[in-house]
Structure 1
């Protein structure tokens, strides 16, 4: 429980008075990539920050300190369950404390403005109300665990193209009603301790200098009393950032604050009083997380939540987030759930079934201790059933990091060749940005070897490669495949993250382990003022004819009673730093599904994608499950849902188009640096409802394993009560969704919009009443003339629905 009776102000003022200008300005600048400096003279230890929304990576981007990997934020939003989001936040606070992290850089509450948004998977929804409610639960959970949540990216960071320089032109009304709305709700209802300023500009001003939105709206109107931290490398101007309300410029040690800010004060370009205000906010953050010795933390140790089983919660969220969008009748009953007792033979198909895509790329990446693949999960859950696997289609034609079959460690050596540290690795990737492992210094580090064994799954020619700038020596089974320097002609930092380069192939036998070694000598350059060790061992399976692979999968499906096809996007399709250009599944996965469906009527497709993909075969298969990026317990959760041990509890948090051409908002590329949000308030279902095209699946859609009858709705403009019955033969869970439709169309508004929701559960045959409050804001618009929220009086229809397009009972109220 967060204590509200602790007064930190006196201790903060005392600390400010003891600090000189240089100490104060140093506190506003990153000490390194992930932390702020300690100031022992006032009892302040260093404050440590870390990504991300699905797990806590810690200060090193490496797998030698594993993290729990929860399902993607789209999966969490698909549960429509703020209490579950709160538990997810508590778990991540628990993980943060274990890793010595004070500030979690999450949640991301930007909107799904367009299905092409490359970081779609890291955000919650196209709807600001749903986003705000789920985000509020998450922030409460994190901060109940004594860790600061950082709500990001403030504001309108809804695409990745030119994100450092784009100027998003957003009118006042959509800015308030859509893009600011989730931040406002979370500030009001969860009181976050930090907010991150985005890279982009809004209406001509970069967000790290946006005095109107940071000082005027966030701090002034909403009363936010926490810290504003820059996105990494977003701060560009010393004077502009301070005047704009930015408290912390990250990362360090070279930032626009620190010594540059002290110089600006001495030169009279900025006021030291503004520096003091920022320092007070940083010290308040420190006090809340327990980094300021003079005061107790906001959550004392004896009030921390009870420990949470990370694996169990990851599995629960994955189940609850799965959206069953199609479940056709076969032989008089739905295709799902499968009857395990009568199931003799199942075919599991698709590369993602064995090499699970569990999370999105970029800063959301964490390294779990173990991953349960769909194949592993189903095999374990069906011990008396023959489970046949075939790759069928591989979504990627690039080499991937060394993973399945590799047992690896990192060996760090000094210039004399002496070992100064050995650390386990879960895969072939090392990304040490700003920090190196405990017991090692960057100055002493001369080389790092990824060493161990590889046990192939398949016989044939395996390809091996390298990733990262610097000198490499790659040896596989005693053969030197490469010894030389890997260079990059463009930006050096970009070169560290460039795709791997194939260095050679080795014929290997399935089940026979071989020694592998990649020794790397990093580039140490004055242009990069941080410790940077970024490289990797890459690998790809023996090449096979793609047509033969599909034929093999089709043959396996034809002999099975059920065919489960797992399709997925790749990190080259969904990741931080770029937007998508289409909604297509990569590779020949669509062909695989179509051909399998032609030979097996019980074809069940599982889609592992963080955002919408086109599914041209969706009406030709028996069932479609949207599993998002399902986290480390992917396979266990999938087996739970397919076999009916758990109900697929999710509902769509965003509309899924049939084709990209149907989507109402597709422009994510700026023209001459400007991206106009010309659609105004009409994004997502608000826009679909105005057009002639129907989506593949509407906002809020999803079904479970039972049926529901909505009996009645009653209430007023403040609260409605819905009575519904579980008319099926098993316990079930439903999401009751409330939509408003205005009777007066004199003000340009969406035809209807989400105003409330609640999850309910009931046993077979049981009835349940659920009361759902309606916020006043649901009846208001932002009036651009008066610059204020204005209630629009008149009659409103209130629908209780199963999705945006599936109303069940309705009533009318009059407002104002």
Structure 2
């Protein structure tokens, strides 16, 4: 479904006339970013710049400097929502559409015309660095959620930008990797979510990925792939929006300009700027008609978002307070109950004492790293949320285990400028010869300075730290690129290796490891930190120098931390363990090495459960981690990367206000090595072979016959369900209806996610062992029953036939398995299709299976 041009004020004829009125240089200027986050404007035709913002889980805004300035002001920042994998765990299309509207509303407030979301790549491997930023390992669940999110965003008059087309399922060497995917796998699995978001929801823009794609006999970068961009996206799907490059993904002028890419980002320096594209056209290397098509698409997008010929006409369905409330609702609904042996959730009796234990209890990881992160003010603590929920409760907090690679950053108030002795640091700008260009005090040093002239070669940061507590301190500096770091007059690290935009593309600039040393003191003293670091010129990705100051105070040993946690757990009415990942683990730019919880968190959980098996364990992780203690715990909740409202959402769940009704949108491995695709890294030739073909995720587990820890679709909620009947309904051109009756026989109202899986009769062509055909959520009061309709789209039965180059429904017998997850099947139906895919096949129900 494409946007009706008549509704946005400019007909196609008017847009073509505007294109014809532009000079060659003006047309070329529109196709390359004018800055990091915006396009060029041409006032004489009434064209404003179009602004973009990252936003899979919140709107960062259009300028990093602006966002950082807001941190130091009273201006409110954009809402941080739960990560996309958390939204997917709700399996709730209405909630996904509301999230899209809230995201669009936030974009309007932040001045953005395009939200660079949703991500519809699939969770092919559990160690993928952006696993948390994707919805699911299943193409149908991913695509339907994306469709709802796109609809929601664009109702605000803001463009969604569906990304990353295509085969970008891992971060390792993502800018050079070749994703080798056969056409059937590509269409049935990896393109399926894009098709729903683009063709059905009518997304106004698409982002082409960094990687190369080997398919249809062509190996080319996604930003220049003729089959992907011209044949599939434009001709077959009828896409008339804008294809934008991922940031710095376009590295060649001619190949990218010859096909369906419309906009190269960022600017102002790109392979299409500074006369490069104009020269290619003038030399006949790129047809000017192709350039005209790009400009037409850009003007069409400008018209849709209100950037052409008048004021932007925007809708803001969600006020900021309403967006905050929605973030809290999504978080609570997304929580997945993995264990609830003693009906510990919700808490039956209001506790007098609570022991909060774990590194993520003190510092929750609420958003993933990279482009999914937004600036955050200090968020409500779990301790405060529980004290607010249960007035008079006594809450103790215990770290329990060290889990982060770097110690905490020094607060600006903890350091002094060595020249003025005032709070802050001294920042000197140096030229290539080491001469002083500028010197200033920075009272609010946050570890990075941006936007310096490229004439500045290095930046020297000096600070005095006053240490008071006797014992062993650790001081260090997190640096990027060339550096020399001295602590208390002793050099601790030097490097002459200069870096560029690769430090941004691989995210090493976001969370670098600090270098430093230990200092043992027995009396208060001053220590000078002196770091000279590279002023990194990352081209269109910005100019910055990073010198984050870190300090670990004297503290207990790992064994002592665990002993303290056990003691507090034993002394409390309610013990809550919060363990999980952090910024060292889940981020854009790198893939994880394994699925182990960082630090000694597993040892912590084992020790606390040995003393208090009724302790509630909350897993704060966006992607799978191994839980070797899972079946020894009475109660376990998976809480994702839950956004800024985590504390309030957890309190809502524990006190019984909101059911944690989430279901896993991926498979939880017991052991990393059992995963069908343990990692997605390229081989020595930079090739990523999608050898598992259509058997992604749970399909691969079933094909291998390997048992996972918990299956796809799993989640207990807090009530119990019977599936009393099921029947096949009407078949139409859009698909098949299946009806089932569910009964809530628990003591509380609850939400059920009815899931229907399909199995074929084993005839050719080869199909997955079992695959998700459709799903629906339903709310049912205690002791009540509801009849639920689940729609299985026609595509659920179709396969791609490479010989006929079309979609076909293979004849045969299909089993329709109605249940609570991939393996908990409650009802079974049979549906037969004769040769020729008759439009109204006769159903043949089978006997009811287990209703436990």
- TM-score with structure 2 length normalisation? 0.86
Provide closer, same or farther for how the CA distance between residues 488 and 58 of structure 1 changes in structure 2, counting only shifts above 3 A: farther
The worse-fitting range, judged by mean Cα deviation, of 167-176 and 90-99 is: 90-99
CA contact (8 A) 1:67 1:369 kept: no
**Residues 756 and 772, structure 1, Cα contact 8 Å, conserved in 2:** yes
| SS at structure 2 position matched to 1:584 | coil
- 1:239 equivalent in structure 2: 254
Contact 1:70 1:630 in 2 (8 A): yes
Hey, what does 1:328 align to over in structure 2? 341
Quickly say closer, same or farther: Cα 1:312–1:453, change in 2 above 3 A.
farther
SS in 1 for 2:234: helix
Change (3 A) 1:311 1:423: farther
Alpha carbons of 1:446 and 1:534: their partners in 2 closer, same or farther (altered >3 Å)? closer
How many Å separate the matches in 1 of 2:522 and 2:98? Answer: 46
**Match among 111, 125, 134 for residue 100 of structure 1:** 111
Contact in 1 for aligned 2:482/2:498 (Cα 8 Å)? no
**What is the deviation of 1:242?**
1.4
The residue that corresponds to 2:396 in the other structure is 388
Give the aligned partner of residue 361 of structure 1.
Answer: 369
2:173 to 129, 141, 162: 162
TM-score (norm 1): 0.89
Distance 2:757 2:280 in 1: 53
By how many angstroms is 1:52 displaced? 2.4
The one of 383, 386, 390 equivalent to 1:378 is 386
- Tell me, in whole angstroms, the C-alpha distance in 2 between the residues paired with 1:237 and 1:445: 28
Q: Residue 267 of structure 1 corresponds to which residue in structure 2?
A: 283
Evaluate the alpha carbon distance shift between residue 293 and residue 404 of structure 1 in structure 2; reply closer, same or farther with a 3 A threshold: same
Matched residue, 1:594? 606
Q: Would the alpha carbon gap of residues 545 and 520 (structure 1) be closer, same or farther in structure 2, given more than 3 Å must change?
A: closer
Checking the alignment, whether the CA contact within 8 Å between 2:36 and 2:542 is kept in structure 1 is: no
Is 1:145 aligned to residue 156 of structure 2?
yes
Q: 1:581 to 1:655 in 2, by over 3 A?
A: same
Partner residue, 2:45: 42
Q: How big is the shift at 1:213?
A: 1.0
Q: 1:318 to 1:412 in 2, by over 3 A?
A: farther
Offset at 1:561? 3.0
Give yes or no for contact 2:234–2:260 (8 Å, CA) kept in 1. Answer: no
Partner of 1:64: 69
Decide which moves more: 529-538 or 211-220. Answer: 529-538
Distance 1:797 1:281, change over 3 A: same
Equivalences for residues 216-615 of structure 1 within 5 A: 216-258=231-273, 259-293=275-309, 300-301=313-314, 303-308=315-320, 309-329=322-342, 334-341=343-350, 343-402=351-410, 428-430=446-448, 432=450, 463-468=474-479, 489-493=497-501, 494=503, 496-497=509-510, 498-502=512-516, 523=534, 528=539, 531-542=542-553, 543-615=555-627
Which structure's relative contact order is higher, taking Cα pairs within 8 Å and 6+ residues apart?
1
Q: Report the equivalent of 1:759.
A: 777
Q: Is the 8 A contact 2:482 2:496 kept in 1?
A: no
1:274 CA displacement: 0.4
SS at match of 1:625: strand
Write the distance in 1 (CA, Å) between the matches of 2:238 and 2:400: 55
Gaps (5+ residues) in structure 2?
Answer: 71-76, 416-422, 430-436, 838-852
The aligned counterpart of 2:748 is 730
Matched, 1:134 2:138: no
Which of residues 49, 72, 78 is equivalent to 2:89? 78
Range with bigger deviation, 570-579 or 491-500: 491-500
Is residue 116–residue 581 contact of structure 1 (8 Å, CA) maintained in 2?
yes
The answer on whether the counterparts of 2:458 and 2:535 sit within 8 Å (CA) in structure 1 is no
1:109/1:131 contact within 8 Å kept: yes
Q: For the Cα contact (< 8 Å) 2:230–2:259, is it kept in 1?
A: yes
Select 2:715's aligned residue among 694, 697, 702. Answer: 702
Q: 2:823 aligns with which of 800, 805, 811?
A: 805
Task: Give 1:290 deviation, angstroms.
Answer: 1.4
**From 811, 816, 827, the counterpart of 1:793:** 811
User: Structure 1 residues 486 and 319, CA, compared in 2 at 3 Å: closer, same or farther?
Assistant: farther
Matches within 5 A, 1:669-708: 669-671=681-683, 672-708=685-721
Distance 1:388 1:90 in 2: 39
- Per the alignment, do residues 118 and 520 of structure 1 end up closer, same or farther by CA in structure 2, a change over 3 Å counting? same
CA distance 1:526–1:405, shift in 2 (3 Å): closer
Which residue number in structure 1 is paired with residue 849 of structure 2? none
Q: Which deviates further from its counterpart, 680-689 or 740-749?
A: 740-749
Q: How many residues align?
A: 790
Alpha-carbon distance in 1 for matches of 2:241, 2:186: 22
- Does 1:617 pair with 2:629? yes
Task: Decide whether the 8 Å contact of 1:32 with 1:530 is kept in 2.
Answer: no
> What is the DSSP-based 3-state SS (H/G/I as helix, E as strand, rest coil) of the residue aligned with 1:549?
helix
1:711 is paired with a residue whose SS is strand
The 8 Å contact of residues 485 and 532 in structure 2, kept in 1 or not, is answered as no
Q: Identify the residue that residue 798 of structure 2 maps to in structure 1.
A: 780
For 2:375 and 2:708, locate their aligned partners in 1 and report how far apart those are by CA, in whole Å. 35
Alignment check: 8 A CA contact 1:482 1:503 kept: no
Q: 1:560 to 1:525 in 2, by over 3 A?
A: closer
The structure-2 alpha-carbon separation of the partners of 1:241 and 1:694, relative to structure 1 and needing over 3 Å to count, comes to: same
Q: Secondary structure of 1:364's match?
A: coil
Alignment partners' CA distance in 2, 1:131 and 1:139: 12
CA deviation after TM superposition for structure 1 residue 261, in Å: 0.7
* 1:521 to 1:225, Cα distance in 2 relative to 1, 3 A: farther
CA 1:235/1:560 → structure 2, altered by over 3 Å: closer, same or farther? same
Pairing 1:645–2:657 present: yes
Contact persistence 2:8–2:304 (CA under 8 A):
no
Counterpart Cα distance in 2 of 1:50 and 1:450: 34
Give the secondary structure class of the aligned counterpart of 1:812.
strand
Match of 2:763 among 745, 770, 781: 745
Partner of 1:596, secondary structure, is helix
- Give, in angstroms, the shift of residue 368 of structure 1: 2.2
Find the aligned partners of 1:395 and 1:115 in 2 and give their Cα distance. Answer: 20
Determine the C-alpha separation between the residues in 2 that align with 1:615 and 1:385: 30
* Contact 1:469 1:487 survives alignment (8 Å): no
Q: Partner of 1:537: helix, strand, or coil?
A: strand
Corresponding residue number in structure 1 for 2:738: 720
Secondary structure of the residue aligned to 2:28 is helix
In structure 2, which of residues 824, 832, 835 is the aligned counterpart of residue 814 of structure 1? 832
Distance 2:582 2:538 in 1: 32
Distance 1:448 1:293, change over 3 A: farther
